[in-house]
């Protein structure tokens, strides 16, 4: 399959911009409806994660955020209200693939959250590798209050982040919780000062991008798959990933740069 170009989109429901040489900033861009996901945003996100899965090209880290005063409040229910069941299921199939692909993405994703992060928005943050948030961030799995349930990995990822009992409480009651609680329970990696979460996420993304991309991808894969199994099987994943790096140019460059006391230049090969 031929490589697909990751284009920059300055406007539209999904804004895609480059930060420096190797970082991508993806902004959910419907601030007038708190970045609720419509068909346009959903399809654009699906196309992006498909391109990254096929060939990350120059992208070594992605920051996901929302425009305006919210991260994302999930699906746009005003639009869904008028959809028939067949259309709703078809659109959800796109979301299912998108969320699974983001969770399995070869490059790390960092969620930068401020304001409401509800339902499918929280699931989007959960499919990222980790989350930074500002103190005004508010989280909730609201689906059970609306005659639905999480359907984009929420019942799987939230328990892995906060534990089974806590996740059951939050999902079954649809109870909102704040950024301090999310941080205390391990859902959020770091609470950032107001107005700084995007720059904090970008700073970490740039640090990741400065590392050898093949090493980052192999380490992420080993962690992700290893945690789904027992310790010794997970260790076999680690060793398989480790041995795959031995013959790479980047490994030789990393060691040479260390010996020569200079910054390495990694090329992803």
Classify residue 132 by burial, with Cβ atoms within 10 Å: 0-12, 13-18, 19+: buried
Tokens of 74: 């999930």
Catalytic residue among 21, 104, 123, 134: 123
253 catalytically annotated: no
Q: Which one from 21, 143, 190, 199 is the annotated catalytic residue?
A: 143
User: What is the C-alpha separation between 242 and 255, in angstroms, rounded?
Assistant: 15
32 is catalytic: no
8 Å CB contact between 121 and 75 = no
Q: How many CB atoms lie within 10 A of CB 261?
A: 6
Residue 118's region, left for phi above 0, alpha for psi from -120 to 50, else beta, is: beta
**57 Cβ contact list (under 8 Å, min separation 6):** 3, 5, 6
Residues with catalytic roles: 123, 143
């Amino acid at each position: 399959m031929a490589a697909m170009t990751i284009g920059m989109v300055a406007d539209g429901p999904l804004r895609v911009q480059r930060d420096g040489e190797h970082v991508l900033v993806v902004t959910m861009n419907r601030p007038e409806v708190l970045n609720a996901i419509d068909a346009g945003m959903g399809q654009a996100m699906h196309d992006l994660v498909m391109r990254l899965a096929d060939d990350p090209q120059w992208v070594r880290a992605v920051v996901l955020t929302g425009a305006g005063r919210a991260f994302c409040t999930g699906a746009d229910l005003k639009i869904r209200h008028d959809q028939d069941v067949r259309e709703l299921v078809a659109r959800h199939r796109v979301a299912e693939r998108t969320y699974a692909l983001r969770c399995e993405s070869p490059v790390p994703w960092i969620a930068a959250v401020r304001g409401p992060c509800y339902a499918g928005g929280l699931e989007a943050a959960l499919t990222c590798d980790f989350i930074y948030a500002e103190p005004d961030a508010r989280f909730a799995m609201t689906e059970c209050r609306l005659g639905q349930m999480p359907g984009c990995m929420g019942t799987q990822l939230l328990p892995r982040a906060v534990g089974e009992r806590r996740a059951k409480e939050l999902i079954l009651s649809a109870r909102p919780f704040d950024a301090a609680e999310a941080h205390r329970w391990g859902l959020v990696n770091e609470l950032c000062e107001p107005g700084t979460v995007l720059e904090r996420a970008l700073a970490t993304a740039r640090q990741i991008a400065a590392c050898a991309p093949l090493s980052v991808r192999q380490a992420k894969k080993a962690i992700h798959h290893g945690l789904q199994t027992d310790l010794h099987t997970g260790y076999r994943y680690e060793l398989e990933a480790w041995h795959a790096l031995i013959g790479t140019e980047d490994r030789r460059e990393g060691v040479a740069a260390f010996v020569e006391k200079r910054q390495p230049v990694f090329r992803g090969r």
